[in-house]
């Protein structure tokens, strides 16, 4: 089977969040003698692009409404990622350092999708399945079904995986002329709330919809995302498939970014050494329990609760615990966290920015990882934490609920129900008590490290789904 994944990010080429980790690893586990798997993302100006070799395999000229744009398809020549990587180069729109947050994101990602369709519709072998990820690729199913130009792709099966339903790629009908020609009879397939809604269109036009956990699939039917009734309508073509993690990249016994490697059989010394190293970077005392947070600093992730939680916990525990925060995002949250540095000089540090190496060191060197998300479609951090023997403290939502059970119920982590500083502090209190019981905490670390979140069987679940929808298309 020929499988093409299309998305906005792919680790290690371009990463903002977990989407990159999934697109950078799932294809690797699907690629075998039966399946030929490739990934197409836009060509940003990233280090990976500069440091690796690419050959231009295709180019063309296209239109986005009245704007003309050239594009080229660059293929990475060494297949070092374990699948074929194609970067879609569109000068001016993508040769920028960041992935998102430009004013013309709608034009950027629409041009990208049009270029992908133009390229594959001209190929002699077209994919059997196009696997779209999130709203940046949400108009592909519509365009391939209805735009006359892509007639050849009409019968190709398409699925959309929703990694985050809050972002939907919405724009007004004034920009309808950006899309290649199609019969207006199908216009409803683009519309939600009187706008063109890329995610809603993908939900309507894809053969199947997946979310990255089962609980998230249930939550989006009633949570406040604006698409609730649409999700309810398409329930019979939707399913939750929990993400896996790349066990090669995230392996404390081989991770070259760590101070000392360790595994489940000898983690005590390894974790201690990594903790000492991490604490020395931020001048913190390694004898105290270390609570970390890694991620984007947004309300959705509960990051607005961190400053209050930290002040309150450090007051209660009279500075007997340490906190480390890594991330960036909302300026107001960044400022709150930076201000705390003035108050808590010895027990707290925040690193604003994204740093993959520091993230690995933090998973290895921390005792507990805070994940107080309001919304968490899957969450990979709890899986990385467990793999490194660090105990996740999670709010029961989405994929966090599906992966973490409280240790008092014989589980692998610590859970709380509300996204509130009070609830997180209660969980921290239970964590501090646990920390003093070396045997008990060791058992939970072992449980986490032994949990299998590899892609092996999950990637197979996707293949079965592809076969199912391809089969259905043949029946019709």
Contact residues for ligand GLC, defined by CB under 6 A: 17-19, 22, 163-164, 212, 243, 376-380, 399
212 vs 278 by CB, closer to ligand GLC: 212
351 vs 401 by CB, closer to ligand GLC: 401
> Do residues 274 and 258 make contact, with C-beta atoms less than 8 angstroms apart?
yes
270 vs 377 by CB, closer to ligand GLC: 377
Phi, psi of 317 (to 5 degrees): -95, 15
> Do residues 79 and 122 make contact, with C-beta atoms less than 8 angstroms apart?
no
CB of 232 to ligand GLC, least distance (A): 21
3-state helix, strand, coil in the chain (%, to 5): 45, 20, 35
244 vs 252 by CB, closer to ligand GLC: 244
17 vs 286 by CB, closer to ligand GLC: 17
115 vs 378 by CB, closer to ligand GLC: 378
CB of 157 to ligand GLC, least distance (A): 21
289 vs 377 by CB, closer to ligand GLC: 377
CB of 300 to ligand GLC, least distance (A): 7
Strands (E), 113-219: 129-133, 157-162, 170-171, 191-192, 195-197, 208-211
- Residue 365, SS3? helix
CB of 16 to ligand GLC, least distance (A): 8
CB of 340 to ligand GLC, least distance (A): 25
Q: In whole angstroms, what is the distance from residue 308 CA to residue 73 CA?
A: 48
Helical segments of 10-164, H only: 18-30, 47-51, 105-121, 140-146
Comparing CA positions, the residue from 175, 191, 173, 146 lying closest to residue 67 is: 175
CB of 223 to ligand GLC, least distance (A): 13
CB of 261 to ligand GLC, least distance (A): 26
Residue with nearest beta carbon to ligand GLC: 18
Q: In sequence order, what DSSP letters do the residues of 322-347 get, joined into one string? A: EEEEEE-B-HHHHHHHHHHHHH-SSS
Q: In whole angstroms, what is the distance from residue 71 CA to residue 403 CA?
A: 42
Q: In whole angstroms, what is the distance from residue 198 CA to residue 109 CA?
A: 10
């Amino acid at each position: 089977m020929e499988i093409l994944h299309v998305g906005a990010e792919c680790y290690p080429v371009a990463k903002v969040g977990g989407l990159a980790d999934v697109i950078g690893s799932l294809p690797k586990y699907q690629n075998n003698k039966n399946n030929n798997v490739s990934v197409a993302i836009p060509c940003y100006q990233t280090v990976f692009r500069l440091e690796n070799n690419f050959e231009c395999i295709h180019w063309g000229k296209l239109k986005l409404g009245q704007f003309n744009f050239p594009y080229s398809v660059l293929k990475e020549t060494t297949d070092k990622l374990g699948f074929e990587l194609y970067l879609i180069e569109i000068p001016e729109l993508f040769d920028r350092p960041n992935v998102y947050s430009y004013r013309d994101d709608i034009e950027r990602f629409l041009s990208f999708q049009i270029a992908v369709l133009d390229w594959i519709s001209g190929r002699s072998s077209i994919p059997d399945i196009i696997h779209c990820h999130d709203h940046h690729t949400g108009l592909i199913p519509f365009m391939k079904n209805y735009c006359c130009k892509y007639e050849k792709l009409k019968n190709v099966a398409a699925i959309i995986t929703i990694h985050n339903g809050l972002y939907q790629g919405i724009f007004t009908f004034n920009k309808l002329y950006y899309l290649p020609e199609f019969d207006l009879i199908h216009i409803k397939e683009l519309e939600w709330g009187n706008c063109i809604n890329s995610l809603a269109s993908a939900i309507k036009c894809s053969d199947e919809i997946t979310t990255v956990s089962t609980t998230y699939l249930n939550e989006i039917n009633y949570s406040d995302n604006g698409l609730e009734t649409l999700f309810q309508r398409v329930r019979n073509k939707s399913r939750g498939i929990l993400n896996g993690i790349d066990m090669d990249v995230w392996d404390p016994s081989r991770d070259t970014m760590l101070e000392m490697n360790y595994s489940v059989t000898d983690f005590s010394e390894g974790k201690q050494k990594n903790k000492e190293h991490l604490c020395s970077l931020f001048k913190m005392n390694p004898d105290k329990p270390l609570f970390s947070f890694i991620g984007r600093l947004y309300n959705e992730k509960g990051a607005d609760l961190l400053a209050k939680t930290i002040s309150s916990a450090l007051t209660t525990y009279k500075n007997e615990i340490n906190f480390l925060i890594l991330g960036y995002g909302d300026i107001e949250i960044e400022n709150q966290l930076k201000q705390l540095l003035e108050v808590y000089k010895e027990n707290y540090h925040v690193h604003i920015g994204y740093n993959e190496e520091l993230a690995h060191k933090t998973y290895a060197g921390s005792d507990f990882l805070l994940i107080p998300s309001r919304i968490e479609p899957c969450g990979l951090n709890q899986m990385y934490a467990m793999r490194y023997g660090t105990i996740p403290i999670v709010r029961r939502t989405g994929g966090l609920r599906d992966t973490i059970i409280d240790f008092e119920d014989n589980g692998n982590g610590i859970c709380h129900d509300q996204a509130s500083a009070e609830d997180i502090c209660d969980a921290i209190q239970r964590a501090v008590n646990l920390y003093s019981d070396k045997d008990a905490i060791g058992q939970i670390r072992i449980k986490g490290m032994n949990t299998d979140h590899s892609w092996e069987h999950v990637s197979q679940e996707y293949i079965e789904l592809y076969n199912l929808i391809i089969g259905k298309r043949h029946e019709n």
